[in-house]
Amino acid sequence: MRIVFPDSSAKEYEAGTTGLEIAGDISQGLARNALIIRFNGDLLDLTKPLHDDGGIEILTFRDEEGKKALRHSCSHLMASAVQKLYPGTRLGIGPSIENGFYYDFNIPEFSGISAFERIAAEMKRQVKENIPFIRKEMSFKEAVALFCDKGEKYKLELLEELRDAGESISVYIHGDFVDLCRGPHVPSTGYMKHFELLSTAGAYWRGDEKNEMLTRIYGTVFDSSKNLREHLSMLDEAKKRDHRKLGSELGLFTIGGEGGPGLVYWLPAGTIVREELENHWKKAHVKSGYQLVSTPHIAPVELWKTSGHYDYYRDNMYFLDIDKGEYALKPMNCPGHIIIYKNSKRSYRELPMRLAELGMVYRYEKSGVLHGLMRVRGFTVDDGHIFCTEDQIVEEIQKVVNFALYFLKIFNFGYRIELSLMDPADPGHYAGKPEEWKKVELALAKALDDMGEDYRSVVGEAVFYGPKIDIKMKDALGRFWQGPTIQFDFNIPQRFDLTYVGNDGQEHRVFMVHRALYGSVERFIGNLIEHYAGNLPGWLAPNQVVILPIMESQLERAEEVESILTNLGIRCTLDGRNETVGYRIREAETSKVPFMLVIGERESASGRVSLRVHTEGDRGSMKLDEAIETIMAGCRRPELP
């Protein structure tokens, strides 16, 4: 048979040769690293004998599919260990996921995380034994008989769904363990030397809260102990950067408890961070052609009926009775901006009209989903609504994407753009006419194409009221977060009958775009804290400089320096406490103050200071002006767009 390689070179092999043998023919190293193959587009086991001509790709841990196969194989390995140690364990599902795998079980008398050691020991034993994974194909009936025999009720339920698929059913066997599985798998258990069991949690069977709760065990596996160690230390680092921990250590905010779950109380230091972010946001928006507005926190329920929120978002809203009317706390800012738009008859000459507000919204979120600043019940959306004509769409989208990227650049976030489009199979689900959708979808794509931005189109991901562009931001640990979002809206202009008078004297339906760049100010600050590990850039640091006189005799000079810095708009504090310099420096370092000015006898007499930079250390003695210059540069606010 003729085998073609990815570089389009080709070679003849005898029929029945396996992927592993072909890999070995290329190099020993490749054979060692190979996990599975892609053959004529199908992912197959390395050990499967090949019979036809075709294109082969040998996949290793560096390939996404190879990684998945190893992790999925490891979930089988773990399941076999669990089933051996806990007889009577019924298997749920055990897929690979980003960064690892899990398996859901119904385990009788499971002892939680303390069982990990035993499970891991059994897994290691099997790794050492290097048991081969054997694929076996069988008819639907045979498979039912097999799993029925084993009492695997969940597997039988999964099988039911394959009943009419008509394909033959495949199972994978290693040792005594059998699992319903499409594959592919790595050749044997010996491939999973570098695994780690991570955590356990409850999970509903098939993700449905009406079903029974199974025990889920999470783990991960890598191709080398180095990579495993790196991943584990990344998890460790993420834990250290947890914004909830840093937020309370740095005195930025407090959430929940007596103050109510999911409600954020900004402490003075955290308020400075917020104010700086918001002020910069406002300036940047004014400069970019937005008009700032402000709307109330509550509005009559009729407004929410008109907007449609009452129908589809009621369960997440808070209601209150005032006089004889019913009101709702705003879960979104758009209806408020609509009222402002509708305040007078609008001319095409006023468009595009860009309204922006840092608007606090309240949404009922289920108690279990609340998480620090990332998921709360009251938060500030940096909302903007653009009203424009059809001709202006492309340009407005480009402007707003650029504007969003400007904000990510300020903080050195990476990014990835997603364009969410309608599902053409289900046009009834969406507001607006399909031909309008097409037009706008093309306009969004054109806007991105013209800018030369890479993006991924996701069909069927659009919300019902319009297509959208989501920008996911990538932080210092390589994690992606929900970032700026730009959403087209066919629904609201229609519901509120939003129009403008064109140059033809006729009324036209206005086009509307919602956009948020920080998303939620609260969540964004959470992201910033984790991204910077609490070492916020100078302009955001609540306290920018600590002034440290060494002895009481330098207190007067220290006060002079303090007032000089304060007059320059630098946030500084004087720490003249009766403590050693070492002690006060340590405290300034742990509270992550970017700069320290130490003033001793030598400096005091000569108008100098000794500058120390957070995490870097002592910069030595210098003229006050020189230190101020360094401090001002380190605390400079970002350039406006």
Q: Which residues bind RNA (CB under 7 A)?
A: 112, 199, 201-204, 207-209, 213, 216, 244, 248, 255-257, 260-262, 308-309, 312-313, 331-332, 363, 365-372, 375, 463-465, 491, 550-553, 578-583, 585-586, 589-590, 596, 598, 600-603, 610, 612, 615, 617-618, 620-621
Q: How far is the CB of 420 from RNA (least distance, A)?
A: 10
Exposed, middle or buried by CB within 10 Å (0-12, 13-18, 19+), for 402?
A: middle
Distance, in Å, from the CA atom of 147 to the CA atom of 359, rounded to the nearest integer, reads: 56
Helix 140-150 / helix 153-162 crossing angle, nearest 10 deg: 170
Hey, CA dihedral for 127, 129, 132, 133, is it positive or negative? negative
Q: How far is the CB of 191 from RNA (least distance, A)?
A: 26
DSSP class per residue in 73-106 = HHHHHHHHHHHHHSTTPEE----EETTEEEEEEE
Q: What angle do CA 397, 401, 407 make, to 5 degrees?
A: 150
Judged by DSSP in three states, 315 sits in helix
Residue closer to RNA by CB (options 319, 583) is 583
The tokens describing 585, both together, are: 């420096």
Q: How far is the CB of 362 from RNA (least distance, A)?
A: 12
Q: How far is the CB of 20 from RNA (least distance, A)?
A: 34
Q: Tell me which DSSP letter residue 20 carries.
A: H
The tokens describing 316, both together, are: 């997440």
Q: Which CB contacts under 8 angstroms, 24+ apart, belong to 611-614? A: 612/585, 614/535, 614/588, 614/589
Q: How far is the CB of 573 from RNA (least distance, A)?
A: 13
The tokens describing 40, both together, are: 């004529």
Residue closer to RNA by CB (options 284, 492) is 492
Q: How far is the CB of 320 from RNA (least distance, A)?
A: 19
Residue closer to RNA by CB (options 261, 414) is 261
Distance, in Å, from the CA atom of 39 to the CA atom of 538, rounded to the nearest integer, reads: 54
Residue 72 and residue 54 in contact, taking contact as beta carbons nearer than 8 Å: no
Count CB atoms within 10 A of the CB of residue 335. Answer: 21
- DSSP H helices, 253-355, are 268-287, 301-307, 309-312, 334-341
Q: How far is the CB of 209 from RNA (least distance, A)?
A: 5
- The dihedral region occupied by 560, where left means phi > 0, alpha psi between -120 and 50, and beta the remainder, is alpha
> Which residue is it, tokens 């509307």?
512
Q: How far is the CB of 285 from RNA (least distance, A)?
A: 22
Q: What is the largest CA-CA distance in the chain?
A: 94
Q: How far is the CB of 23 from RNA (least distance, A)?
A: 35
Judged by DSSP in three states, 187 sits in coil
Distance, in Å, from the CA atom of 384 to the CA atom of 420, rounded to the nearest integer, reads: 19
Residue closer to RNA by CB (options 174, 612) is 612
Q: How far is the CB of 245 from RNA (least distance, A)?
A: 8
